[in-house]
Structure 1
Amino acid sequence: MSSRQSLKKQKQTALALAAVVPVMLGLSFAAVPFYDWFCRVTGFGGTTGVAAEASTTEIDREITIRFDASKAAGMPWDFRPELTEMKIKIGGNGLAFYEAYNPLDVPTAGTASYNVAPSTAGGYFVKVHCFCFDQQVLQPGERVMMPVSFYVDPSIMDDPEGRVLKEITLSYTFHSTPLPEGFAAEVAPATTAVSAN
């Protein structure tokens, strides 16, 4: 192979790799909304029930709810549950908090996806209020407590697999997302002024 052919092959390879980067970046930002849609359509990941109001029916049986937190690659925040577990009565209303902290000196944004395990419990785990799939923007050094209110539907006792469950795990994963356009424009002058000093 001549050096001219070799140089041409190297240029083609470089161009192909350069084209892959924006495609992969675009796919990473589309992952959270796609996951939300996929879970709702297929029930994958223990898709939970959703209710507009708290439960009004409670039965005399406790179940342990475990809380888990993780971060996708590139997410700079500290993220953890306030409590790692709680016991609630089936049908009783629960309220848990997750803490997020932005250690950077610039505003950053993130969106959380969730998973319920075992997946058979997903339809009986009902969220009344949740921070998942809503973009969160944290200022430099900002720490927030994000609530999730929920209950376990008493109809779980009618399910042969559900009635023997002793615990359910609710996991959240935070993914880094771009700042909203309007927000980025609002903070740009202040950032420029600080960096100019």
Structure 2
Amino acid sequence: MKLDRNTKVVLYLVGALVFMGGLAYASVPLYRAFCNATGFNGTARKAKATLANIHGDSQAIVRVRFDTNTRNVPWTFKSEKAYMDTRVGKTALVWFDVRNNADHPVTARATYNVLPDTMGAYFMKTQCFCFNDVTLQPGESQRFPVVYFLDPKLMTNPDTDTVEDVTLSYTFFESKQLQNVAKTGS
């Protein structure tokens, strides 16, 4: 069957439209995966192990500040310390306190970011409450550890080797995934 020129143009346009729609649909998870893998845009990376021991350490100290926020989540959320002076290449531990002020259970997930953005690739977390959803019952309080290290490779990058101050910022959002499950009952 031979297609006329107009039909071919229409088919090419429909194909391009479907391709662009699929690309737009996949762009958010692809971007998130890219940021998690590379530390792009200040995204702290999840370390499989304490890689600091492999790369060695440094005498450099970087002040890591902790910023805590909630977005429409009825929780009190704060870090144990406002900041920690962290030795590059050494594992550090900081605690975060969370309390549900609502009269019903609330499930939320924390998003995180590192500023300046260039430090995201070197801020490695081995344990963090931000890797999973968190459910707190009414009035419940919990304490969450974050174990992290600053990869010594940051000392070889001219964009990061003189950074003295980093901010690790968390924001809790209600978990849409679990809200949808609760609504549908499945």
Normalising by structure 1, we get a TM-score of 0.69
CA apart distance, 1:39: 3.4
What stretches of structure 1 of length at least 5 have no aligned partner?
1-33, 186-197
CA apart distance, 1:177: 2.2
> Structure 1 CA distance, aligned partners of 2:49 and 2:34?
23
SS of the residue aligned with 1:45? helix
Quote the residue 2:151 is aligned against: 153
Quote the residue 1:109 is aligned against: 107
**Would the alpha carbon gap of residues 36 and 76 (structure 1) be closer, same or farther in structure 2, given more than 3 Å must change?**
farther
Quote the residue 1:39 is aligned against: 32
CA apart distance, 1:37: 5.3
1:70 aligns with 2:69: yes
> Structure 2 CA distance, aligned partners of 1:96 and 1:35?
30
Quote the residue 2:46 is aligned against: 50
**Would the alpha carbon gap of residues 99 and 141 (structure 1) be closer, same or farther in structure 2, given more than 3 Å must change?**
same
**86, 89, 95: which one aligns with 1:88:** 86
Identity %: 33
Matched positions, count:
150
Structure 1 ranges of 4+ moved more than 3 A:
34-37, 42-45, 178-182
**114, 123, 131: which one aligns with 1:125:** 123
CA apart distance, 1:167: 1.1
